[in-house]
Amino acid sequence: MKIPLSAPDISETEIEAVVEVLRGTQLSRGPKVEAFEGAIARYVGVPYVVAVNSGTSAMHLCLRGLGIEAGDEVIVPSFTFVAVANAVRYERATPVFVDIEPHTLNLDPEKVEAAITPRTKAIIAVHTFGVPAEMDAIIEIARRHSLWLVEDACEAIGAEYRGHKVGTFGDAAAFGFYPNKQITTGEGGVLVTGNPELATRARALRNHGRDEGDPRHQELGFNYRIADLNCALGLAQVGRIEGILARRAHVARKYDAALRDVPGLILPPIELPGKRISWFVYVVRLAESFTEADRDFVADVLRAAGTGSGKYFSPIHQQPAYRNAAVPYPLTVTEQVGARTLALPFFNRITDEQIDEVCDGLRAALEKVKHV
């Protein structure tokens, strides 16, 4: 691709940090893991952080640590990456899909309330595309029904809701640092929590169920460890995270200014009251007069011109692995949005000239749709 969908932002600082680990004696379970955990704890504002090998692993440990088990139901959105539902199924629990708000693309609190049953044990609030979910309403529902609340903040490092960073509202939260995220560890994630018992158990679970300093395995665990190499990279990235987030906000504003007058195109909100968006991706969607085939045609035209794009997200409940999913109510917004969304190239070092080229290509593709 001439203009890729995403690209990591790796500076000499990150390279030097990784080389320093390579010149040392500990590539795994060394001091960089603890240092990275401390940096995330200070940045997010939580007392306990457990670094693992992916955001998916972090979400799985949140659910295992909170006691989610077979027969339980966990409320999740269908308009999100499949990992959140997979983590529920790892514990043989049932993900119950509910609809989203059309503006923020996050869980609709009214739909959450309606989907609660006697078997419901938890709600997973996803901060989709870095936009904070409506936490006040979701927290109130979780407390009233005595449910665990887990935040999927894998796309939202640095996002804020009413002056507090996401990841600090629930009983636990997961962040992810895949290369397309705001900051990266290559592969990796963290579980964050204010619960010391959950943190201690998560540390054991990530290392085959073995407590720190104890050679015995107390319970069935996993190999979810993360290497010092990854944490050294992440530590350097955290050190410049505010500059990275500011740059990504600039890119989002450039797209908004260039595309706001394009007919038939619905743009993401640039600002929301009481919320700070952490820009993970820039996702537009075609108006309802367009079809899913039209969206796919636009993506093909962009690809032919050397411009990357992504169909974020295909609703989970419509995917083959979830053909028997629990869908108690119609997911009208989810299905309408999922058929028409398109992520545009979005990364820290994209230039203004590249943004202009993407926008020109998108306009041309939409014009071709009208004549196909």
Q: State the catalytic residue, choosing from 111, 121, 165, 181.
A: 181
Residue 291 Cα distances to 37, 286, 337, 358, 361, angstroms = 45, 8, 11, 21, 19
Sheet with 120-126, side-by-side order of all strands: 48-52, 189-193, 172-176, 148-152, 120-126, 73-77, 94-98
Q: How many residues does the chain have?
A: 372
Q: Is 32 a catalytic residue?
A: no
Q: Running DSSP on this structure, what letter comes out for residue 9?
A: -
Name the pairing type of β-strands 164-165 and 120-126: unpaired
- Identify the bridge partners of residue 28 per DSSP, sorted by sequence position: 227
Three-class SS state of 281: coil
- The residues, any chain, with a CB within 8 Å of residue 171's CB and separated by 6 or more, are 66, 148, 149, 150, 193, 194, 195, 198
So which residues are the catalytic ones? 181
